[in-house]
Structure 1
Amino acid sequence: MLIDHWPLLGLRVRTSRLELRLPAEDELAELADVAAQGVHEPGRRPFLTPWTDLPPAERARETLRRHWSRRGTWTPQDWTLDLAVFVDGRPVGVQEMEARNFGILREVGTASWLGLGHQGQGIGREMRSAVLHLAFAGLGAHEATTSSFTDNAAPLRVSDKLGYRPDGIARDVLHGSAVVSQRLRLTRDRWELTDRPEVTLSGLAPCLREFGLDQPEQV
């Protein structure tokens, strides 16, 4: 079976209303439809990689390409986990977690997007809480990082509520103009003090080597 060769297919991260996991191909197609319907209000540019500027059909195709690329280039030393977020069995967005040399550094980065029709319901905070539980409780991470444009208030509020602290800024170019991102960092100690939903993990043990962890007792 495919899961015998790619155990990440069996990984499940659950809260009381969300399930985060790798999507099946038909679910990936549905996720692409969610992206095509919109991820943010017209005229806004919340992502440094401007994939949401594409027309709806191309935005859907880019969703597929990004997901397939991250599976195809995965190594235990350099990986990006592209988890689809499900509500009542239907995909509503993506929660990413990535790391380089995780077995040594024990640091992850996160990013996400959520379909426009599912925003404003607390899902964004809950799905990040879920993946942070996977990182800290499941994989034994020491720190987690993220970043948001300084004028993108919603994710900055989520990060603040989850215990992140400022970690400097980054300056980049987007569409010919300078943009400033606030870098943020969350330590394991601060994560343990935050108010967060109950999260359950299943199917993790067979995946540990894929994350660069040689033995379960390392977690």
Structure 2
Amino acid sequence: MKQRHWPLYGLRIRTPRLELRLPDLELLDELASVAADGVHAPDTMPFTVPWTDGSPADSGRAVFQHVLATVANWSPEKWALSLAVLHEGRVVGRQDVMAKDFAVTGEVSTGSWLGLRYQGRGIGTEMRAAALHLAFAGLGARTAVSSAMTDNPRSLGVSRRLGYLPDGLEAAALRGAPVTLQRLRLERARWEEHRTVDVTLEGLDACRAEFGG
């Protein structure tokens, strides 16, 4: 279906195993169900915004509303592309790419989560690689940044494999208590050196102006 008024729905990012795209309402409902089924162990909290603290239904609703809000609040000066990640035709998680004043800074940030049942298969690394390809190869980004709690070895391991370097520590508040985040930074040259995943882009030209690059 041709998207005249919101061409971002036509954007596709593909890797050997995955497809990433902005979810329509049907896919968004599937994505919310994945969140409701759980994205981390009950005794951990990998997010500085504890959106999974409620019931499974609350978590699913939070995801559904969040993704719709990213579309409603989009502007070329400040945007958040919240992509459903599909593996073998099934939604398995979400990969976000975000930027503020991208035309000036050339910098994006990323965030993601993966359903518990799909973890431990290398999907997290592959979907972040897809996001970085969109940023660097597709949009001409100069840097990508991310962060993870210092006690989140899986997320830190993904960043390390993709070439990110430590960029200092940051204090944050979680449920009224302090936590420490490891900031991470990936320059374009290091991204090129650490590329190992084949990625293709489809539909970017039709929505390139939306990114403000």
Shorter-chain TM-score bucket reads: over 0.9
Q: What amino acid sits opposite 1:42 in the alignment?
A: P
**1:195 positional shift:** 3.7
Unaligned runs of at least 5 residues, structure 2: none
Equivalences, count: 213
Task: Report percent identity of matched pairs.
Answer: 53
| CA–CA separation in structure 2 for the residues paired with 1:208 and 1:194 | 25
| CA–CA separation in structure 2 for the residues paired with 1:2 and 1:46 | 38
| Contact residue 109 and residue 145 of structure 2 kept, 8 A | yes
Counterpart of 2:64 in structure 1 is 64
Q: Secondary structure at the match of 1:5?
A: coil
Q: Secondary structure at the match of 1:159?
A: helix
Q: Secondary structure at the match of 1:121?
A: coil
Counterpart of 2:25 in structure 1 is 25
Give me the TM-score of the superposition, normalised by structure 2.
0.98
| CA–CA separation in structure 2 for the residues paired with 1:206 and 1:96 | 20
Q: What amino acid sits opposite 2:146 in the alignment?
A: T
Identify the structure with the greater helix proportion.
1
**1:170 positional shift:** 1.0
> Could you give the per-residue CA deviations for residues 95-140 of structure 1, whole angstroms, max 9, x where no partner exists?
0000001011110000000000000000000000001000000000
Counterpart of 1:73 in structure 2 is 73
Q: What amino acid sits opposite 2:36 in the alignment?
A: A
| Contact residue 2 and residue 10 of structure 2 kept, 8 A | no
* RMSD, aligned CA: 0.9
Listed as ranges, the matches of 1:111-130 within 5 Å are 111-130=111-130
Q: Secondary structure at the match of 1:51?
A: coil
Indicate how the Cα distance of structure 1 residues 211 and 195 shifts in structure 2: closer, same or farther if over 3 A, else same. closer
Counterpart of 1:192 in structure 2 is 192
Counterpart of 2:138 in structure 1 is 138
| CA–CA separation in structure 1 for the residues paired with 2:134 and 2:143 | 12
Give me the TM-score of the superposition, normalised by structure 1.
0.95
| CA–CA separation in structure 2 for the residues paired with 1:81 and 1:97 | 5
| CA–CA separation in structure 2 for the residues paired with 1:164 and 1:132 | 11
In the TM superposition, structure 1's runs of 4+ consecutive aligned residues that sit over 6 Å from their partners are none
Q: Secondary structure at the match of 2:159?
A: helix
1:87 and 2:95 are equivalent in the alignment: no
| CA–CA separation in structure 2 for the residues paired with 1:96 and 1:74 | 13
Counterpart of 2:175 in structure 1 is 175
1:156 and 2:156 are equivalent in the alignment: yes
| CA–CA separation in structure 2 for the residues paired with 1:200 and 1:63 | 27
Counterpart of 1:216 in structure 2 is none
Counterpart of 1:147 in structure 2 is 147
**1:2 positional shift:** 6.6
Q: What amino acid sits opposite 2:190 in the alignment?
A: R
| CA–CA separation in structure 2 for the residues paired with 1:119 and 1:50 | 20
Q: Secondary structure at the match of 1:168?
A: strand
Q: Secondary structure at the match of 2:4?
A: helix
| CA–CA separation in structure 2 for the residues paired with 1:42 and 1:174 | 15
